Amino acid sequence: MTSTVRTLPVMVSPDQAAERKDDGFQRIQGANVLLAIHNPNNLALLREQLSSNFQIYENPSDIDNIEFDLAIIDIPSLEQYKDALQDKKSRCEPTLLPVMLMISKRDLKHKLRPYLALVDEFITMPIDKVEFMERVVMLLRARFLAISQRDKLYYLATHDRVTGLPNEQRCIEHLTDTILAASVLNQPVYVVVFSISLDQVFKSFGHSGLDQAAVICSQRAVRAVTDNDRLFRLTTDTWCLVTPPGHHSLTHTLSVCQQMIHTISAPVNIEHDLIHIDIAIGVSHYPDDAVNTRQLLDAAINAIEHTEANVPHFYSRRLQKDALRYIRTETLLRQAITKEQFELWYQPQIDFATGEVKSVEALVRWRLPNGNLVSPGDFIPIAEKTGLITQIDRWVIIQACETMARWKEQALGIERVAVNVTACDVEEDDFVSFIDDILKKNQIPPPNLELEITEGVFFHSKSQNLEKLSHLRQRGINIAVDDFGTGYSSLSYLHTLPISILKIDRSFINSILTSENDVAITKSIIWLAKTFQLQTIAEGVENADQANYLKKLGVHIAQGFYYAKPMPENQFVEWLQNQKSAEHIKQRQSQIS
């Protein structure tokens, strides 16, 4: 990591030197100066002279731990701390760390010589204030100039001349540090190497065209990666991306690869000619593919040889299989949106007080042309990563509201439909107006709609998103915290949220009859709901014993396979009518004392 180059503002000289038209001084305010002065009178004099411009340290015994830019020292202190000072200067080499010796004229001839290798400047006592300040500023200017030159040399040595990106040397350094951190944290790291075909550019336009294309491709790559990823240019036509340990999953890495393919492969305009760009991507994984820097980098480079058009290739066969499944699913998912392959299924929610179905949750299902259903667990994460989730969720909201309007005409008695909403949905500028328009179009009262959002969205959401949800809640729309109790719950924060419903996560319901911890958590959630006058829904209820216990605890509504699985609309309507005629639900309810 490069050091920060200090800014050198103009320095105000002492009064005696202020009258000079060109005194050569610069004011370097804030520089750290170590005073190792044995004589208290001399120490007080220097402190008075320097303290208004510099940060002063007066503890030479702690030289190893003090970061200073100049040491001013006298003979007694020099004799005492010479070894520590020499070590400090040696560690800074080749960058200058100046030492000024304060010495009497009497000692000048006899005591200076042994320290010539250590001392960079001296000032004789009694000191001349103007001369002293001139020498202090001179040494600090030399110090900061050396730092600036060092940083420039380091930058040139570790960055690509054309694009300004860190080069292979810096990549090796960074990847080594990343692997070390990953080994300590026991977390994975992905290394993405991509090669861009620039041969035709070089043949047609020479070095200038090659450099221009490299800059354009680098800028595109920077836009494709996240702030936490690090990008490097290894060679003329090869770049590398390193993810931080444990920060990103396979799906994120694939998403970045796809974004780079889409962004970089667009034609490049070189001297008014559009040049087609091909990109090949290889990916390696720590620790599966290698545990040291060079081998991990080589694995990603070797993987490039097996790439297909616009498809990243993983060095690991297992990851390659997962990657291909991800890419195929994403491609089919985009087609599913345009071809309307989604269906909306409904799962009833049972009111414990009456045993009636007053509300449902609308759940999206994806049916392939061959009739098979894709599990939501297989496509929802990909939709969220690619941003397709917003289109899907809007389709769900539209369909759910249209269904609710039909049910009102049919007098089915359903009073509320719940739909899942993500942070991406809420962040859309027109989210509130979209909801308002859908309700108005279908003539649905706001209380008939429930928006379910996971609690993590609330606790990590932007303030403007909470404002949007507050506006919707004020309109009468129900806002539910889905999967409540799974990790973010905070009593101090809960009362500020614009919510009306808490959904108790199924993980607590599964073992509520056997786990004291889950019972305690569930009771706490119910108590919170009562305190803030919120409705509670228990999801994942699978048997009568669970339902009976939840009713005794005071839960308002139950949802789960014990009552019914999610069903397409026509099946749900038929099921609901059958249950009403046979009073099946009430019979079930009678089993609950």
E strand residue ranges, 305-393: 313-314, 342-351, 357-367, 373-374
With bands split at pLDDT 50, 70 and 90, how would you rate the model's confidence at 568?
very high
Q: 246 and 207: one domain?
A: yes
Do 553 and 478 have their domain in common? yes
> Order of strands across the sheet with 55-57?
55-57, 32-36, 70-74, 99-104, 121-125
Residue 456 has pLDDT above 80, yes or no: no
Number of domains comprising the chain: 3
| Domain boundary residue, one of 276, 297, 330 | 330
**206 shares a domain with 146:** no
DSSP-assigned beta bridge partners for residue 449: 417
At 337 the three-state DSSP class reads helix
Q: Are residues 451 and 516 in the same domain?
A: yes
- Tens digit of pLDDT for each residue in 470-515? 999 999 999 998 877 665 555 556 777 899 999 998 888 988 888 8
pLDDT band at 3 (very low <50, low <70, confident <90, very high): very low
Which domain CATH number covers 267?
A: 3.30.70.270
Of 109, 136, 158, the last residue of a domain is 158
Determine the pLDDT at residue 560: 94
pLDDT at 466: 86
Same domain, 297 and 181: yes
Which among 349, 421, 352 has a CA at the least distance from the CA of 380? 421
| Residues 211, 88 share a domain | no
The reply to whether 487 falls in a domain is yes
- Do 500 and 393 share a domain, yes or no? yes
Collapsed DSSP state (helix, strand, coil) of residue 344: strand
Helices (H), 475-537: 491-494, 506-510, 516-531
Task: Decide if pLDDT at 32 tops 80.
Answer: yes
CATH number at residue 53: 3.40.50.2300
> What's the gap between Cα 488 and its chain centre?
18
Its domain, for residue 427, covers: 340-590
What is the C-alpha separation between 343 and 494, in angstroms, rounded?
Answer: 34
Which of 104, 138, 158 is the C-terminal boundary of a domain? 158
List the one residue out of 414, 350, 375 whose CA is nearest residue 569: 414
> At residue 383, does pLDDT exceed 60?
yes
Statement to judge: residues 77 and 210 lie in one domain: no
Bridge-based pairing state of the strands 501-504 and 478-484: parallel
Cα(589)–Cα(548) distance, rounded to whole angstroms? 9
Q: How far apart are CA 74 and CA 582, in angstroms?
A: 102
3 within a domain of the structure (yes/no):
no
In 3D space, the residue among 366, 359, 374, 356 whose CA is nearest the CA of residue 539 turns out to be 359
Same domain as 300, residue 416 = no
Round to whole Å and give the CA distance between 311 and 258: 8
Q: What is the average pLDDT value for the chain, to the nearest integer?
A: 86
Does residue 6 fall inside a structural domain?
no
The SS3 of residue 146 is: helix
Domain-embedded: residue 5? no
- pLDDT score of 462: 62
Q: Is the bond preceding residue 312 a cis peptide, omega within 30 degrees?
A: no
CA quadruple 127, 128, 131, 132: dihedral sign: positive
Asked whether residue 119 is domain-assigned, the answer is: yes
* pLDDT 10s digits, 151-161: 899 889 999 99
Check residue 6 and give its pLDDT.
31
Q: Looking at the domain assignment, is residue 396 inside a domain?
A: yes
**Preceding peptide of 14 cis, ω within 30°:** no
CATH number at residue 377: 3.20.20.450
pLDDT band of residue 305 (cuts 50, 70, 90) is: confident
Are both 315 and 423 inside the same structural domain?
Answer: no
| Predicted pLDDT of residue 438 | 96
Q: Range with the lowest mean pLDDT among 112-121, 184-193, 332-341?
A: 112-121
pLDDT tier at 65, thresholds 50, 70, 90: confident
Reply yes or no on whether the pLDDT at 89 is more than 80.
yes
Three-class SS state of 528: helix
